[in-house]
Structure 1
């Protein structure tokens, strides 16, 4: 039962964090809170955009982890926590890749907004 609680707490943390991040986005560049990379902290414009898409990534990851937790518990109840932790690590990597891909669409490598052609 403790493993089940731990497994469900992981997607819950992502869902709560997504809600709080969306509701209270960081207004200025911060070393404490927000989507922090060297690139996103280079200027306010890229920071604002990154922290607009960051909560979407957390929400998606939280929902996917919730589904994985339910299915993992139904199929592999004894190993559900390992499955969820593994999925979380993969999801964080995929989520960061998605965020960086979005940033590449709208900003150059120096953090300047791309001009439309």
Structure 2
């Protein structure tokens, strides 16, 4: 498989999903669509905050991942194998960690706002 096509189907798809999540965030707490962790689903205020924070981080890091993978695909002399997938995993991991940290900084374990 061509490296650029591989990047488009992995990192490009991730970036497209991040745009969809950013443009169409979930309206209500649900178990199907949105950033769903126990803490994020405690109440509506936390739900909106968590989804807004995650979607922003996800858009940024998926975009960085996509650009980095495209650059890697164009300068690589060998066909890419696992490198774009590592960038996908890092994008998701960093987005989740930053969202959970923001939730801990702004809300108690019971769901009350700190600041």
Q: Deviations over 1:10-38 (max 9, x none)?
A: 23222222222222211111110000101
Measured on the aligned residues, the alpha-carbon RMSD in Å equals 1.8
Could you say what secondary structure the match of 1:40 adopts?
A: helix
Q: Name the CA distance, whole Å, in 2 between partners of 1:21 and 1:8.
A: 18
| Match in the other structure for 1:26 | 26
The runs of 4+ residues in structure 1 deviating greater than 4 Å are none
TM-score scaled by structure 2?
A: 0.86
Q: Structure 1: where are the runs of 5+ without partners?
A: none
How many residues are matched? 115
Unaligned runs of 5+ in 2: none
Provide TM-score, normalisation by structure 1: 0.84
- Equivalent position of 2:4 in the other structure: 4
8 A Cα contact 1:17 1:58, kept in partner: no
**1:64 maps to what in 2?**
64
